[in-house]
Structure 1
Amino acid sequence: MSKSYIKLGELASYINGYAFKPKDRGSEGLPIIRIQDLTGSSNDKGFYKGTYPSKIEINNGDVLISWSASLGVYVWNNGKALLNQHIFKVVFDKGEIDKDYFVYAVQFSLHRMRQLTHGATMKHVVKKDFENVLIPYPSLKDQRKVAHVLDKLKESINKKMDELTKLDELIKARFVEMFGDPNISEKNQKKVSMTDVCQIIDGDRGKNYPHANDFCNDGYCLFLNAKNVTTSGFDFSNKMYISKEKDEALKKGKLNRGDLVLTTRGTIGNLAFYSSNIPFDNIRINSGMVILRLNHDKIEERFFIEHFKLQLLRIKQKVASGTAQPQLPISTMNKIKIFLPPLSLQNEFANFVQQVDKSKFENIVYLNKTLSSKILSQLGDAIRD
């Protein structure tokens, strides 16, 4: 009878990526794959043209595990590339293991590890500790059976995710139906400058701007980093804080409830809404963001958000500046024009979005619960005598 559990270190070798320096990142050669390239939180790829150790080369089918700041397991399928630090490449050179089963088992183990942090920031996982993590280890035949069942479940989930994408498209279509396309000039549509409906507030970049030793894992004021503002809103899986004293020494750049945060450097155009549901009372932006403080007597936030999303591609193409690191200066944002229909119509649209969001939220909760419970059930069945 095979072992019920096995340590990850007994199954494979885990090769860490290379610590590429900023000067190594260019526009030619093989892409350098960082954690944000795996999570999809950045489109700012760098490339390396030169010699490199063969062990950091990755190819289609390689299993990658991010172990610092963001924990995750991925199957790489985007061609030859080079692995940056803080990511393991898995080399299956020890125990007998089905690769698909391994991915599911590690995915569930990392989920459990994140839960054990109780909301605190997990900076990284020590390699020795990672290799000591136990996963269920049934026979190879049963591993393949489990992977097959979960693959079928994943297909169903992907179909549901397609439905969620269609709901997003429905919101866009409804906006254009009610107000027109913001990227097309229409004679009868009133347009105003962004500054007519919101303040664009920069952060404090003066002498009191926090340095590395000012940050801590817990504290008075959450200080946003680039990973916190994504294409789908806030993500607080990676957090850093400053003290109350440091917060009070800074001037501009602190959020009020109802504010929007917009990324303006590197990955530009990500928006997040600081609603009453966000569980942090004190938040500040970093130097690659601005605050959009809406005049709610003129504009409704969901109307503004969807309007801005529709303009985003054009904004990136035409008003972003900079080469190595794209930037969206406030001076160019001041020139952006937006529709300003009657507030009653904006609120009608916002009510429609709210109903769609409710459907999306219910689907996401269902999918998460289904996936977690199914993985747990399958892994449990796999080791049961």
Structure 2
Amino acid sequence: MAEVRDGYKITELGEIPLEWDVVQQGDISVFYNGRAYKQTEFKNSGTPIIRIQNLTGIKEPVYSDLILEEQKYANPGDLLYAWSATFGPYIWNGPRSIFHYHIWRIEINEKILDKLFYYYRLDFVSRELQGKKNGFSFVHITKSLMESHKIALPPLKEQQKIAEILSSVDTQIEQTEQLIEKTKELKKGLMQQLLTKGIGHTEFKQSELGEIPVTWGVASFEELGVFFKGKGIAKKDLSELGEPCILYGQLYTTYKEVIKEIVYRTDIKVKNPVIGYANDLLIPSSGETAIDIATSAALMVDCVLIGGDINLFRPNQSIDSRFVSFQLNSTRKEDLAKLAQGSSVYHLYAPSLSGFKILIAPLEEQQKIASILSTVDAEIASYEQEKAKYEELKKGLMQQLLTGKIRVKVDA
């Protein structure tokens, strides 16, 4: 039997500090159900209705003119919990509202429980339950399960200190997210300017794609290079060793406008493989929606196996594929989407793409524009890496602090 550390005790939850208690969540908090709403009860004005999408990012509310009992209302600062499809706690920062059936409002006994600590504890509980084979693998969690779930509860002052530490990390995450969004907005503005007006031009002309610098032109893909179709690699063929490869789905999930490093490999032998080289342009030929399929990535790596459902475009010497890729993902994206064919699954085929026209700047200017935008991308990637580090730090702190494995100093 393992020796118990000084200052700790063994409980049904394992080893916890002596001053901590094991409690059921239903004994320290009350979970109030929301209400299901009919479509006919939605109005254009009145009391806002909080739905899960309002907690996860979509801000436009719907309204109701219903008058409900007080426990069905959420006020600013209230603790809410989404229990269907998207799980987890939220601090409500909106106006006084009523809330949907798939959300609980939680009241706590503030004499023994700190709200912000409990917010983090509920987040931790959600992760615990999701990790259990039979606990959270379905589409919703029951109120009785949450009420009966047992947690280790520290004294109030220690709760407050733990919440303060975790909140400081959250602040860093939020500030980094703001930097990411600001830099993305900067990139969006730069693409609109650089990919239509260029660098330092004062003279412009009209073209079939709008006003452009006099030294620029318009050309179709078939005038600028040739298309190949990827083949022969499926997701099941990926391995840790072998040749670098790209599958079409990765153009949506893994790569952005420029591919500088290959993430996946395969050890299968493809007959007559299609191999991509630096400065090739990759465009998916299958996707779920027309706007999704209207994307591309400039390959900056040699000797890469190209999987099926990818159009590989090999431009001539006068084209920087990064410049084209940035166009297709911004100023020309909606027009590219119009070429997509299909209903449940959309396709972009090389014959349709061949006649698609893009703007062409002198090669040196293409390279300068691509370099500027790539520098902004590198800054975004740096911020995203910083955010990921803070998220890992928070995850580790939650594991240690919320279980009592590491104690915090509390002022007497």
TM-score interval, smaller chain? 0.5 to 0.7
**Cα distance per residue 1:13-35 (max 9 Å; x no partner):** 11111111122112111111110
Q: Note if contact 1:60-1:80 (Cα within 8 Å) is conserved in structure 2.
A: yes
Seq. identity, %: 22
Residues 166-315 of structure 1: pairs in structure 2 closer than 5 A: 166-180=182-196, 187-188=204-205, 192=209, 257=249, 285=288, 291-292=293-294, 300-307=324-331
Q: CA deviation at 1:171?
A: 1.9
Greater radius of gyration (CA): 2
Which secondary structure does the structure 1 equivalent of 2:66 belong to?
Answer: coil
- Matching residue of 1:322: none
- Matching residue of 2:229: none
**Cα distance per residue 1:145-195 (max 9 Å; x no partner):** 21222223333333333332333234234324523589xxx95475649xx
- Matching residue of 2:383: 360
**Cα distance per residue 1:298-352 (max 9 Å; x no partner):** 984554334489x9xxxxxxxxxxxxxxxxxxxxxxxxxx973449457546644
Q: Hey, which of these two has a bigger chunk of strand by percent?
A: 2
The answer to whether residue 90 in structure 2 is matched with residue 74 in structure 1 is yes
Q: Note if contact 2:191-2:373 (Cα within 8 Å) is conserved in structure 1.
A: no
Out of 55, 64, 72, the residue aligned to residue 80 of structure 2 is 64
**Using the alignment, how far apart are the partners of 1:68 and 1:351 within structure 2?**
40
Out of 96, 106, 115, the residue aligned to residue 90 of structure 1 is 106
Q: Note if contact 1:26-1:48 (Cα within 8 Å) is conserved in structure 2.
A: yes
TM superposition score normalised by structure 1: 0.60
Q: Note if contact 1:303-1:350 (Cα within 8 Å) is conserved in structure 2.
A: no
Residue type matched to 1:18 in 2? R
Which secondary structure does the structure 2 equivalent of 1:372 belong to?
Answer: helix
Residue type matched to 1:52 in 2? L
Out of 39, 61, 82, the residue aligned to residue 45 of structure 1 is 61
TM superposition score normalised by structure 2: 0.56
Out of 343, 366, 370, the residue aligned to residue 393 of structure 2 is 370
- Matching residue of 2:43: 26
Q: Which runs of 5+ in 2 are unaligned?
A: 1-17, 211-218, 222-246, 265-285, 297-310, 316-320, 335-356
When residues 384 and 145 of structure 1 are mapped into structure 2, their CA distance, relative to the original with a 3 A threshold, is closer
**Cα distance per residue 1:197-242 (max 9 Å; x no partner):** 99xxxxxxxxxxxxxxxxxxxxxxxxxxxxxxxxxxxxxxxxxxxx
- Matching residue of 1:268: none
Q: Note if contact 1:20-1:84 (Cα within 8 Å) is conserved in structure 2.
A: yes
The answer to whether residue 23 in structure 2 is matched with residue 6 in structure 1 is yes
**Cα distance per residue 1:8-57 (max 9 Å; x no partner):** 112111111111112211211111111010000x3442111123233211
Structure 1 residues 135-144 or 42-51, which shifts more? 42-51
**Using the alignment, how far apart are the partners of 1:133 and 1:49 within structure 2?**
36
Q: CA deviation at 1:96?
A: 2.0
Which secondary structure does the structure 1 equivalent of 2:104 belong to?
Answer: strand
Question: Bigger relative contact order, structure 1 or 2, given CA contacts below 8 A and separation 6+?
Answer: 1
Structure 1 residues 108-117 or 15-24, which shifts more? 108-117
Out of 127, 140, 158, the residue aligned to residue 124 of structure 1 is 140
Q: Note if contact 1:35-1:66 (Cα within 8 Å) is conserved in structure 2.
A: yes
Superposed CA RMSD in Å reads: 4.4
- Matching residue of 1:15: 32
Q: CA deviation at 1:127?
A: 1.6
**Using the alignment, how far apart are the partners of 1:117 and 1:353 within structure 2?**
42
**Using the alignment, how far apart are the partners of 2:220 and 2:149 within structure 1?**
53
Residue type matched to 1:8 in 2? Q
Q: Note if contact 1:60-1:78 (Cα within 8 Å) is conserved in structure 2.
A: yes
